[in-house]
A and B are shown apart, each in its own frame.
Chain A
């Protein structure tokens, strides 16, 4: 089975957190000294019987409040593992996480589980790609959402219920007041996903990591949920990391985009630049392989070959085996040397080709 059809799951705060600081009413702007979230050289390795799986290999990115960062890439490129590392979900497993992820002054990589637990839910919320982990089968859907609300808000049971009913309505559950008292198994798959999204959103996290939150939903429902997420983000000036393989969703909602391949960021920058001033051969290939609602029919242009084995990454550029333009770089440099990530005015790429060469590739199509 491929993994891209799984539905999302939201995790709200797991336990009451009396010691967490009260939520600021106005969101502080990120200070000049540090970004809201700064990820540096983040790597994740999984020791397995077959060898070490190098799932994430030196990710760098920053995120400010009020921004949406889209992370795109093929199945297996390390999107979910990156988010698991940020959420501290790999702590206490055999995974080796290295590098830094500084969130408001705290390093999420070294922060112990107890500290991480304090951040989860209200400071950092997550909507998971894999289902069946957030909604408890024995409690009503509404109860679970209201509980998540009570963890972070001083409120009566009645107020919590009202807030949960309101949020259920906003994610598009019809007759939310009646639905509040139903159990997860009474909900359809799509409704369960929306309930989980409601559970994450009701905590108003300062940073929301959403892993394929709408992949399993119909486009009409997806549009509704994406609107809601943007709306709440503006209200609370929060930051959003949206993981998806759908470049349409990225174009629609993201400010910045990070393209992953083989556990590395191969290109990142403002959304318009990624689409109209594409600088990495992999991103070019990805854009070229998709049918759109406006392009002429004919043959599609898939990227030849297959993603690299994470058990034995190539010595040179991770994309070199599939890259149609490696010869342009000359001297077999693509196959022998790993290119550096170089960035100019916030638009970065990891490729041996210089901008003039990329421009000539783009113009020749």
Chain B
């Protein structure tokens, strides 16, 4: 139900200008970090965003949080296009979308106490909660599983998992509708990771907040997401419900990605279909013509002349739910290089 979506992203683009000198011969003048991404997210749900390093996940997240201006496209939050907001409107919007980073302290002042850090977004928005700022911060500390007495502590006294809890406390302090979580548990040990994932899910149940969850660990993404979107070189290549996508990936990139996930179960790991990609992600400054995945596509090599030409000449329609961005998904048989 599109009208219920808290977030709707349409044809979002971010093209970074390339500094002279880095210009590839005959290349274009921009890096197409995000190039026509669309999806929607319902209230209280989580969209997992996955794909290789450099494919544009963080850039997408940062544009949604308006930490970065989009080159083109619409970002509808609760029915209002926020992609072009400026000044006072942008300032008010900040309450609605917050962000959690891999290391929330990387950007914080090491001499600032935890309490001050958590209060900062409320101070910036000139919000005085009933009962006072300090009380609200203490409440938040407890809500994320820390203690009120942590208020006066300093960042270096906290473990990785505790830091992430502080980041979460900051992010939820303004009761946002959407939180963009950019690799929030990637640096944590499994056990601490489990605690933080549980916390994020509890908060979602209590507040109905929606998450965009960016991560490279597909097991965690599968665990926490309702919907999953797969990006490759700035494009959305496949999206769909979590169960559909994990049970029956259709785009050759998604299939290769899932088959590369090491399974923590030796028998399953031995039985797993193994599709191996060759080479690297091409440069987004000089992407391949037609389908951006064709240079590494395991399906491409199995195609006939005419079908290949289609991949080289024609950009596939961007993926929408249930329809991957591939000319030939219908043909995809076994792709495994070395199935055992």
Binding site for B on A (CB under 8 A): 1-2, 4-5, 74-75, 172-174, 188, 190-191, 218-224, 226-227, 245-252, 271-272, 275-276, 285-287, 289-295, 297, 299-303, 306
| Option from A1, A173, A218, A252 in Cβ contact (under 8 Å) with B263 | A252
Chain B residues with CB under 8 Å of A4's CB are 187-189
Instruction: State whether A291 touches B197 (Cβ < 8 A).
Output: yes
Is B132 an interface position by the 8 A CB rule? no
Instruction: State whether A223 touches B279 (Cβ < 8 A).
Output: no
Instruction: List residues of B (164-204) whose CB comes within 8 Å of A's CBs.
Output: 186-195, 197-198, 201
* Bound-state Cα–Cα, A1 to B106, Å: 8
Instruction: State whether B264 touches A251 (Cβ < 8 A).
Output: yes
Instruction: State whether B262 touches A219 (Cβ < 8 A).
Output: yes
Chain B residues with CB under 8 Å of A223's CB are 259-260, 262, 274, 276
Instruction: State whether B52 touches A218 (Cβ < 8 A).
Output: yes
Task: Evaluate whether A293 and B194 lie within 8 angstroms (CB atoms) in the complex, with A2-B188, A222-B262 already known.
Answer: no
Chain B residues with CB under 8 Å of A299's CB are 198, 201
Instruction: State whether A190 touches B53 (Cβ < 8 A).
Output: yes
* Bound-state Cα–Cα, A124 to B193, Å: 34
A-B contact count (CB 8 A): 142
Chain B residues with CB under 8 Å of A295's CB are 223
Chain B residues with CB under 8 Å of A1's CB are 103, 106, 160, 187
Binds A, one of B62-70, B76-84, B90-98, B265-273: B265-273
Binding site for A on B (CB under 8 A): 52-54, 102-103, 106, 159-160, 186-195, 197-198, 201, 216, 218-220, 222-224, 246, 256-269, 274, 276-280
| Option from B265, B276, B278 in Cβ contact (under 8 Å) with A292 | B265
Instruction: State whether B261 touches A301 (Cβ < 8 A).
Output: no
Instruction: State whether B276 touches A224 (Cβ < 8 A).
Output: yes
Instruction: State whether A245 touches B260 (Cβ < 8 A).
Output: no
In the complex, the chain A residue whose C-beta lies closest to that of B183 is: A5
List 14 additional A-B contacts (Cβ < 8 Å) besides A1-B160, A302-B192: A173-B280, A218-B52, A220-B277, A223-B262, A249-B262, A272-B266, A289-B191, A290-B190, A290-B219, A292-B263, A293-B219, A297-B224, A301-B194, A303-B191
Chain B residues with CB under 8 Å of A251's CB are 262-266, 268-269
**Shortest distance from the beta carbon of B199 to any chain A beta carbon, whole Å:** 10
| Option from A221, A246, A289, A302 in Cβ contact (under 8 Å) with B262 | A246
> Can you name 21 A-B pairs with beta carbons within 8 Å?
A1-B103, A1-B106, A2-B188, A220-B277, A224-B278, A227-B276, A248-B219, A248-B262, A251-B263, A251-B266, A276-B266, A286-B190, A287-B264, A289-B190, A292-B219, A292-B265, A293-B258, A297-B224, A300-B223, A302-B194, A302-B195
Instruction: State whether B278 touches A219 (Cβ < 8 A).
Output: no
Instruction: State whether B189 touches A245 (Cβ < 8 A).
Output: yes
**Shortest distance from the beta carbon of B196 to any chain A beta carbon, whole Å:** 9
* Bound-state Cα–Cα, A251 to B265, Å: 6
**Shortest distance from the beta carbon of B126 to any chain A beta carbon, whole Å:** 33
In the complex, the chain B residue whose C-beta lies closest to that of A73 is: B189
In the complex, the chain A residue whose C-beta lies closest to that of B338 is: A227
| Option from A2, A219, A227, A246 in Cβ contact (under 8 Å) with B257 | A219
Instruction: State whether B267 touches A272 (Cβ < 8 A).
Output: yes
**Shortest distance from the beta carbon of A127 to any chain B beta carbon, whole Å:** 17
* Bound-state Cα–Cα, A246 to B198, Å: 20
Residue among B186, B222, B266 with max Cβ neighbours from chain A (10 Å): B266
Instruction: State whether A302 touches B191 (Cβ < 8 A).
Output: yes
Instruction: State whether A291 touches B262 (Cβ < 8 A).
Output: no
